[in-house]
Amino acid sequence: MARQQNCADRLFLVGEMLETASQYIRLCKDDLEQQDKLLIELARDQITPLRRRAVELGKELSELDARLRRTVADLGSKEPSKLRQTSS
């Protein structure tokens, strides 16, 4: 039976996706001189929406962090091993 994903698993995957996104940005910078003007303009049109998404991601992470902190505080002094058992 497949193991159910938990929050830590999902956040790890988000980190992997962000690393991949950074690699794509580096590729754009590396071959920029080889692009024609139209493609450069199309690429530039993507910057503002990407910045908005990055800001939204930052907000989502801050909200999740606050919620995780509250949850840990609410759980009190439970041992980490017990937390894993109850979240599975």
Q: DSSP label at 4?
A: P
Contact, 83 vs 68, CB < 8 A? Answer: no
For the stretch 3-45, pLDDT in tens is 778 999 999 999 999 999 999 999 999 999 999 999 999 999 9
pLDDT at 24: 97
d(CA 26, CA 85): 41
Q: DSSP label at 44?
A: H
pLDDT at 28: 95
Answer whether residue 88 shows pLDDT above 50: no
Residue 86 phi, psi (nearest 5): -80, -25
